[in-house]
Amino acid sequence: MSLNFTDQGAYVKVRHQQFQVYCKYELRCQVPVNRVSHIVLFGCCHLSHGAVSLALRRRIPVMFLSNQGRYFGRLQTEGMAEVEYLAKQVQHSLNWEFSFRQAKSIVGAKLHNCRILLRRLNRRRKLDEVIKAIEDLAHWIEKVPTAESIEVLLGYEGQGAHVYFQGLGALIQEPFVFEKRTRRPPTDPINSMLSLGYTLVHQNLYSLVQAVGLHPHFGNLHVPRKNHPALISDLLEEFRAPIVDSLVVYLANSQIFKPEDFTPPDARGGVYLHPDALKKFLKHWQERLQTQVTHPHTGYKVSYHRCLELQVWEYIACLMEQQEVYRPMLSKM
């Protein structure tokens, strides 16, 4: 499980192999260390020397985010890379055909999962705008295998994403409005929740990738560049719609969140969850990660968090040439 700290001034200590959380000198909760997969600190939260030592010894990564959910960095034990995997990653990074083959699979899966989500959400409402978006997405999905370069493939992905978010916006009910995807900063409540959700999936995948010994910077679709973990961005794509987007639509349309749960636009136009609303979002987030679904390649019912881990191993199978193409997790109706 993820241990999330949002109360400003919270202090985490260790006693009897348990993380103990204090706020204003009062013990709020304690969690056995063997139940914690990673720790996320939002804003001004602190770990004792003992908590840091225990996290490092147990290889529990610690993520640092602003109290608005912006990612700053992480604390993690070094020396976890598998040399065999790293050698293959370097080798395949120089192989254009390998990278392009995986990139096509990643984009196709992302657009497929976006289309399936729109079909699910529009099953009863049957909105014309969404039907049109579903049809247009089918067109871009068909074009993915014909792409002759990464640039063309990214163009298809961009067109498909634009169509998808138009359809998703039509499904968002009042009092919320979602016109387009905005980032850095998110300029409305829906974008704010989407950005936070993507950040949390990204950090889960980062922890899993490093735990198995992969280097996070050798991707296929996303070009490696300074300080950008391209492999994490690649693996994230297939999970955007089924994990994050579906949750955000549910939270908005079920009126679990209201406009007053979000801050007014700041100087840069950014809109973020208020502290109490952030806690509520993280509660629903943890529930979403524990939701059971059938993993298409194993046939077993597992949690979404377990699906993230299984897909990391799927990528390793591709990397080690046990299979030719990475098999993303495709949603079903």
Picking from 46, 75, 104, the residue at the C-terminal end of a domain is 75
pLDDT tens for 151-183 read 999 999 999 999 999 999 999 998 999 988 988
CATH number at residue 146: 1.20.120.920
DSSP one-letter string for 41-106? EESS-EE-HHHHHHHHHTT--EEEE-TTS-EEEEE--S----HHHHHHHHHHHT-HHHHHHHHHHH
The CATH code of the domain that includes 69 is 3.100.10.20
Question: Are 107 and 69 in a shared domain?
Answer: no
Total tally of structural domains belonging to the chain: 2
> Would residue 153 count as lying in a domain?
yes
Residue 128 in any domain: the answer is yes
pLDDT in tens, 104-125: 999 999 999 999 999 999 988 8
- Percentage of residues in the chain having pLDDT higher than 70: 96
Q: Is the pLDDT of residue 1 over 70?
A: no
Does the residue 325 lie in any domain?
A: no
Instruction: Report residue 69: phi and psi, to 5°.
Output: 100, 5
Domain around 311: 83-319
Is 216 within 8 Å of 229 (Cβ atoms)? yes
Q: What is the pTM for the complete model shown?
A: 0.86
CA dihedral defined by 229, 233, 235, 237, rounded to 10 degrees? 180
Token digits of residue 12: 């985490």
For residue 173, which of 263, 249, 260 has the smallest C-alpha distance?
Answer: 249
Give the residue from 262, 94, 299 showing the smallest Cα distance to 185: 262
Q: In what order do the strands lie in the sheet with 46-47?
A: 26-32, 18-23, 11-15, 46-47
- Can you read off the two tokens belonging to residue 171? 């499904």
Q: How confident is the model at residue 22 (pLDDT cuts 50, 70, 90)?
A: confident
At 288, the amino acid letter reads R
Residue ending a domain, choose from 52, 75, 98: 75
Do 164 and 45 fall into the same domain?
no
Q: Write the DSSP symbol of residue 245.
A: I
**Is residue 326 a part of any domain in this protein?**
no
Cis, bond preceding 185 (omega within 30 deg of 0):
yes
Taking only the tens place, the pLDDT of each residue in 48-80 is 888 788 778 777 878 787 777 777 777 777 656
Cα separation, 1 vs 46, whole angstroms: 19
Q: Assess if residue 328 is contained within a domain.
A: no
Find the mean pLDDT for residues 30-57. Answer: 80
**What number of CA atoms fall less than 13 Å from residue 129's CA on the CB side?**
11
Cβ–Cβ under 8 Å, residues 122 and 171: yes
Domain final residue, candidates 40, 75, 110: 75
Q: Is 117 exposed, middle or buried (0-12, 13-18, 19+ CB in 10 A)?
A: buried
Question: Is the bond into 175 cis (omega within 30 degrees of 0)?
Answer: yes
